[in-house]
Amino acid sequence: MKSLMSKYSLMFKKITPIPNAKKLIDIAFSRSRKQSASVPKRAPSLIKARRKELMRVNVAYKELTNRLKRIVHDFPPLDELHPFYYNLINALVDVIQVKKALASLDGASQVLKKIYLQYRKKISGANDAKVIASLRKAAFGRFASVIKKLDDRLIFLQKVRNTLKSLPSIDPNLITIVVAGAPNVGKSTFVEKVSSAKPEIDVYPFTTKNIIVGHFEESELGKIQIIDTPGLLDRPLEKRNKIELKAIMAIKYLAAYIIFILDPSETCGMSIKNQLSLYKSIMNTFKIPIVPVLNKVDLASPDTIKHLEELLGSPLKMSALHGDNVDSVMQYVIDELKSKRRNVNKQHK
């Protein structure tokens, strides 16, 4: 199935590969050697030498500055990203260091320009072919020195580029429902049942498992995104390290609603007690509307279901595998989202 990339994913994937300092210098100087100045055959050798070396300095300068500017231009303005992506990126890389690295590339372009203008003037005024050649070599040496000082930043930005390219393709501007719960409670089955097409598989930082992204249309709300997050919201947040938690907390900028699925039959492998603990952890952490849903009710004992109903206050019930009440669960969430939108619209009138 062809991936429906969000504009953010397309933006990240458009960042061109970033060479290290040595490779950047080699590319620029190699290009300059291949260029030849247009000089009349009968022109004096001094003029030929001057034009040849001016051309080489010009080509090297343009190649270096164009590539540095391309790197800066390719990176999206991080402060203008949707909070979901900004916070996710900030969990993976130091955003401040990214900004500083890009600014140093900008600054280097200005230094290269000064060197270029300085040596263009010197070469244009020189009246000896050997002096002209040595001036070109000196210009190249100065160019190389500037670029070599950027090496650690170029390597760092290439790593950042790879990180950005690997981010999940999620559209944060769509209404998003996040499905949470312990492993094997039926989250992915539920997402597949409610999606209008086969859900897409994507990656998310700090989990070896893929997230599942489905979509469906609703007449009033439009396109809705529904996400199963295995490896993220399936174990207590208190057990995560700080960096992991940052990546997970980015979800709060994405989710409009959380469906928390519990397995009262405990065939998922986690006890009811631990599932309820996870539910409370997510509810208290995210401060996002959340509805508890009992799945596999056909496998659970009536006493267990009754106990959970008393604890959770009439949770929704379904059997995702058989499709029983799946539509009712989604309709409940859709009605809640519509009500929320209407209330927001009233406040803005």
Predicted confidence (pLDDT) per residue in 57-87, tens digit = 999 999 999 999 999 999 999 999 999 999 9
Q: Please, which pLDDT band fits residue 239 given cuts at 50, 70 and 90? A: confident
Where are the alpha helices (H) located in 186-301, listed in sequence order? Answer: 187-194, 242-249, 272-286
pLDDT at 16 over 80: yes
Amino acid identity for residue 126 in this structure: A
The pTM for the full model equals 0.85
**Pick from 163, 146, 58: nearest CA to 104:** 146
* Non-local CB neighbours of 215 within 8 Å, separated by 6+ positions: 4, 174, 195, 196, 197, 199, 223, 224, 225, 226
pLDDT at 35 over 90: no
Q: Please, which pLDDT band fits residue 1 given cuts at 50, 70 and 90? A: very low
Map out the domains of the chain with their CATH numbers.
11-165 (1.20.120.1190), 175-347 (3.40.50.300)
Paired tokens of 76:
């999206």
* Non-local CB neighbours of 117 within 8 Å, separated by 6+ positions: none
Predicted confidence (pLDDT) per residue in 309-321, tens digit = 999 998 999 999 9
pLDDT at 33 over 90: no
The enclosing H or E element of 169 equals: none
pLDDT at 3 over 50: no
How far apart (Å, rounded) are the C-alpha atoms in residues 18 and 207?
27
| Structural contact between residues 17 and 158, judged by C-beta atoms closer than 8 angstroms | yes
Q: Which of 1-15, 104-118, 128-142 has the lowest mean pLDDT?
A: 1-15
Paired tokens of 248:
């997970």
Q: Which of 130-144, 176-190, 205-219 has the lowest mean pLDDT?
A: 205-219
How far apart (Å, rounded) are the C-alpha atoms in residues 245 and 249?
6
Task: Please tell me which residue, 168 or 135, carries the higher pLDDT value.
Answer: 135
**Pick from 43, 35, 89, 40: nearest CA to 59:** 35
SS3 218: strand
Q: How high is the mean pLDDT of the chain?
A: 91
